Structure 1
Amino acid sequence: MVSRFLALILLAAFSCPTHVESIIRHYKFDLVKKNTTKLCASKPIITVNGKFPGPTLYAREGDTVIVRVVNHVRDNVTIHWHGVRQLRTGWSDGPAYITQCPIKTGQSYIYNFTLTGQRGTLLWHAHINWQRATVHGAIVILPKRGVVYPYTKPDKEAIIILGEWWKSDVETVVNQAMQSGTPPNVSDAHTINGLPGPATNCSSKGYTLHVESGKKYLLRIINAALNEELFFKIAGHKFTIVEVDASYTKPFKTDTIFIGPGQTTNAILKADQQIGKYIIAISPFMDTIVATDNQISTGILRYKGTPKFPPTTLTTIPPRNATPITTNFLDSLKSLNSKEYPTKVPLTIDHSLLFAIGVGVNPCSTCVNGTRVVADINNVSFVMPTTALLQAHYYNISGVFTYDFPGKPPNSYNYTGTPPVNMQTINGTKVYKLAYNDTVQIVLQGTSIIAPESHPTHLHGFNFYAVGKGLGNYDPKNDPKSFNLVDPVERNTISVPTAGWTAIRFRADNPGVWFLHCHLEVHTTWGLKMAFLVENGKGPNESILPPPSDLPKC
């Protein structure tokens, strides 16, 4: 087993911060000037090692990863290793006040976890407030030495991280919105590897992917955006999808990739077109009335040998509400289900849960309109505690949370139709308890209290199988008849269709406290989140490991 040590130092562009390339060497870095050049905006941002996006974490399946995070900024921070299963190591999962207290200014914390049974592409990002807008990067998990990909090995690889950019400080944006009770401003631009591409009053040329004719490239595509599901296209080229969320899939071809916040997609691109320049484009998806950043970010795929001023091949951008494209892409995703990588869908279920998720409005005496937009699961808007849930569970600290999170909506109604007159949510810090090795089915049912909307939902601590989805209200009698229990896609983040539902299944074989939330940061802020508490098992390797000595204190 190989041990890898990376030092991630969080820096801010308030002056000339120190850039750390190794554990002990420090360098100056003028981040304000760098970001003005790249993003045509002058504002301080929080970064990791002075980079935006942050450094890529490379490891192999079976490696132990140790990351020392040192906080040199004025804000509290945490880092989440999105999609890493964290078997028995919930202390390293990272969501603030769920598995740990934040790392305070001037303090540090060592994340220590082993990559067990996983290989592919994942994402790391800050997991407190809206810091992940700039604090994010890629995790590349290579197969064990001697183990080959279940597809033709590409000639080269490239990491492509998609994001959003605000001209204003994102924390100011969200704080003003919470005080007013209204939705926050949408982002001002999308980015590809931190670059927005040509834009008004901006000389940035955008990201360039260099290729050679005849070669195959594995594109590791990551959506690190805060609030938007995105389309990804390259003019004149098609992709072969081979993996999502670090789980292999049956290969299929497409010219458009659909990817939600927190999701990753590995796609093989063959450089099989004429030498020249081809537009890379990302654009938002939203098939309802909810606002998005409608800016299209572009980059360039450039063939080796392209003359200095060649014509550029353009691409057709999908309509913002291109539901057929998203549906076709999602329906094409199937797990590999091979001898080496079997699909293990739970066939019997211990807990059958119905989670009605959506956005509503509560009274607010201090807000501009006397109301505040909220979000909820089963009518509960989650309240963040001041002591981390995992610490409260491990040390038996009372009064931090209750065990009464409802397994179904307290009052059933037409979830995707006309809502009841009174849908005010309740506030609470509630968990749903599971015994070790219990099998769970969750039907994530979208609602239309204000407007129906797609919800990319992330489960910490587990992968799950997406066994079914549909439009309208879930029918517990007839809809399970069409479930795919043979080769459903395996993921850690799944989109719930607008005015529809998605059914997922997983086995609770990882003790600890595990967050489930919408990965649209605005919805998480409003309360669309909850936590599972998985009890210890009876075997020697079925209990939470003791907390590390440097675990931050609240």
Structure 2
Amino acid sequence: MKAWIFHVIGVLVLLCGVLPSHAAVRRYKFELRNTPYTRLCANKTMLTINGQFPGPTIYARKGDLVIVNVHNLADHNITIHWHGVKQPRYPWSDGPEYITQCPIRPGTNFTQRIVLSDEEGTLWWHAHSEWSRATVLGALVILPQKRDDYPFPKPQAEVPIILGEWWKSDVQQVMEEFLRNGGDPNVSDALLINGQPGDLYPCSRQDTFKVTVEYGKTYLFRMVNSMMNNIMFFKIANHNVTVVGSDASYTKPINTDYITISPGQTIDFLLEANQNPSRYYMAARVYASAGSFDNTTTTGIIEYAGNYTPPSSLVLPTFPDFNDTAASIAFTNQLRSLASRRYPVNVPTNITDILFFAISLGTVPCPILDQCAGPAGNRFRASVNNVSLVLPRTSVLQAYYKNISGVYENDFPDDPPFPYNYTRDAVFGLDWAIENGTDVNVLDYNSTVELVFQGTSILGGVDHPMHLHGYSFYVVGSGLGNFNKTRDPLNYNLVDPPLMETIAVPKNGWTAIRFRADNPGVWFMHCHFERHISWGMGMTFIVKNGRGQNAKMLPPPPDMPKC
């Protein structure tokens, strides 16, 4: 038997050691392809998985092991990230390009092992290389264990809903153009529900996404925001919904007539079909606190079964204003964990590591004076604690595991190097403080971390949906203005805070999270606005091994992509 077969068996045996006894192994095959696409008034070729847009939905149960063999049959490098999966002790399949792996090159393949642990609900998967996630994405549905039920009445049916956006031009060209000119990227040409913009756009009426419901029955919608650069408002005309989960964690029920959902976030909600049988729009539009954006509205249709005369035209739901920050914050602040015996809360209280991360947009001088498309002829840059991320050419994980020097520095600051009034009106003149780097912040195994994200008003400020790989975290507090380390912690929610892995830090405000660093490995943290991470708003944590065998990172698979 070949040596690599022994290695694969060894890795699977190690993985089985971290899986519960009830776990099943589920296998999928992904083929990345250049796929012709002729809908939406466009004729172009785009990257897809298995020729589908959005890609296939993966189904598993809590605690399962999912094995996905990714074959790159296209002409573009790719990585795949399993968004919200903690991957205990196994960062090798997490997916962010040059953080945990080098890309899967054309003509090669990589078998990724997705290790599920306590996640239950809706997550998703997407490309994590350049801007490929615009079309390479799909839902990941994690059902309860067979012996368990939902913590709410069983729905009649379940409906995945993926919000996205669309460019008529090649999205790779969109990325390359704005990185070259230093300005904002072109806004998308359409917003999407399950790959379709709806009948308010030309060339798409026949493809509008529809859901058929029966009067008196309840349906579970699993919604993913895969938008590249936008937080979204979502509503269903004439209906309220009941939110029951977010980021693969159940929440206390929230009855509401609208939802705010950030890029990367998932929301599970129940729809009771309790209105007069007819046809009703479900719709989504952008919440944008600053900058240019696609001001259109994407629609789908809720269609009641039965005999009735359908209306000649449908009524759009009324949304909050596009810049209604209060409405966005009000929805997010309602989220609470169940905090029950079956779904307990374990918020760290004895904090060992206090981190304060200023997240901000800024500018740097243009190489050719006044020739860039950013403010005042400069180039946009983004940073965390004044460090703008530069991706290496060897993955940080490989360098850490093999002790390769020169790939990263382990001195990422715990606090901003230049404290100032972060949210005063119109902060300017601090762009000189931004420096490029590949720096990591090292955490001891089992340390308890409080991390405060502080937004800034440089260039006016904007919301930042922050995502942490390898962990879920408790959102214990948030507010507007500057964080006050003496006053604000007194108001933390340590009883039933939501357990999330993507949280929108409000414009010119702050958000505090807590987690226990009990997952050894290399884990990326970044803003989920794609333009912001392209400008450098990201950093990496290294969580060191613990003492016991079950507190150490597992070895890499033999087919890790080569740089």
Matching residue of 1:524:
533
The answer to whether 1:368 aligns with 2:371 is yes
Matching residue of 2:479:
470
Counterparts of 1:238 and 1:62, CA distance in 2: 33
Do the aligned partners of 1:413 and 1:420 also contact (CA within 8 Å) in 2?
no
Matching residue of 1:208:
210
Matching residue of 1:542:
551
Counterparts of 1:308 and 1:402, CA distance in 2: 67
Counterparts of 1:313 and 1:379, CA distance in 2: 47
Matching residue of 2:384:
377
Matching residue of 1:12:
34
TM-score with structure 2 setting the length: 0.93
Say how many residue pairs are matched.
532
Do the aligned partners of 2:427 and 2:460 also contact (CA within 8 Å) in 1?
no
Matching residue of 1:423:
431
Do the aligned partners of 2:245 and 2:269 also contact (CA within 8 Å) in 1?
yes
The answer to whether 1:119 aligns with 2:128 is no
Q: Secondary structure at the match of 2:442?
A: strand
Task: Note the C-alpha offset of 1:278.
Answer: 0.3
Matching residue of 1:182:
183
Q: Secondary structure at the match of 1:173?
A: helix
Q: Supply the AA of the counterpart residue of 2:32.
A: L
Matching residue of 1:459:
468
Q: Which moved more, 1:264-273 or 1:322-331?
A: 322-331
Counterparts of 1:2 and 1:272, CA distance in 2: 38
Matching residue of 2:296:
295
Matching residue of 1:20:
none
Q: Secondary structure at the match of 1:541?
A: helix
Q: How does 1:103-252 map to 2 (within 5 A)?
A: 103-205=104-206, 206-252=208-254
Do the aligned partners of 1:62 and 1:116 also contact (CA within 8 Å) in 2?
yes
Do the aligned partners of 1:403 and 1:432 also contact (CA within 8 Å) in 2?
yes
The answer to whether 1:446 aligns with 2:455 is yes
Q: Supply the AA of the counterpart residue of 2:49.
A: V
Counterparts of 2:68 and 2:44, CA distance in 1: 28
Task: Note the C-alpha offset of 1:314.
Answer: 3.3
Q: How does 1:339-350 map to 2 (within 5 A)?
A: 339-350=341-352
* CA offsets 1:130-158 (integer angstroms, 9 cap, x no match): 00000000000011111011111111110
Do the aligned partners of 1:446 and 1:496 also contact (CA within 8 Å) in 2?
yes
The answer to whether 1:505 aligns with 2:524 is no
Task: Note the C-alpha offset of 1:549.
Answer: 0.3
C-alpha root-mean-square deviation of aligned residues, in Å?
A: 1.2
Task: Note the C-alpha offset of 1:385.
Answer: 0.5
Counterparts of 1:351 and 1:330, CA distance in 2: 26
Counterparts of 2:114 and 2:289, CA distance in 1: 39
Matching residue of 1:27:
none
Task: Note the C-alpha offset of 1:302.
Answer: 0.4
* CA offsets 1:169-221 (integer angstroms, 9 cap, x no match): 11111111111111111111100000001245324341111111111000000
Task: Note the C-alpha offset of 1:159.
Answer: 0.4
Counterparts of 2:296 and 2:493, CA distance in 1: 37
Assess, with a 3 A threshold, how the Cα gap between structure 1 residues 361 and 275 changes in structure 2: closer, same or farther.
same
Do the aligned partners of 1:459 and 1:493 also contact (CA within 8 Å) in 2?
yes
The answer to whether 1:396 aligns with 2:399 is no
Do the aligned partners of 1:181 and 1:368 also contact (CA within 8 Å) in 2?
no
Task: Note the C-alpha offset of 1:423.
Answer: 2.3
Unaligned runs of 5+ in 1: 14-31
Unaligned runs of 5+ in 2: 1-22
Matching residue of 2:420:
413
Matching residue of 2:53:
52
Q: Which moved more, 1:484-493 or 1:305-314?
A: 305-314
Task: Note the C-alpha offset of 1:421.
Answer: 2.2
Task: Note the C-alpha offset of 1:444.
Answer: 0.4
Do the aligned partners of 2:279 and 2:310 also contact (CA within 8 Å) in 1?
no
Do the aligned partners of 1:77 and 1:127 also contact (CA within 8 Å) in 2?
yes
Q: Which moved more, 1:363-372 or 1:503-512?
A: 363-372
Matching residue of 1:3:
25
Q: Supply the AA of the counterpart residue of 1:76.
A: N
Q: Which moved more, 1:234-243 or 1:318-327?
A: 318-327
* CA offsets 1:384-408 (integer angstroms, 9 cap, x no match): 0000000000000000000110110
Counterparts of 1:131 and 1:333, CA distance in 2: 31
Do the aligned partners of 2:198 and 2:205 also contact (CA within 8 Å) in 1?
yes
Matching residue of 2:7:
none
Q: Supply the AA of the counterpart residue of 2:508.
A: A
Task: Note the C-alpha offset of 1:305.
Answer: 1.4
Matching residue of 1:258:
260
Counterparts of 2:330 and 2:307, CA distance in 1: 34
Query: Percent identity between the aligned chains?
Result: 51
* CA offsets 1:317-336 (integer angstroms, 9 cap, x no match): 22101223212211210000
Counterparts of 1:59 and 1:478, CA distance in 2: 44
Q: 1:386 aligns with which of 389, 393, 417?
A: 393
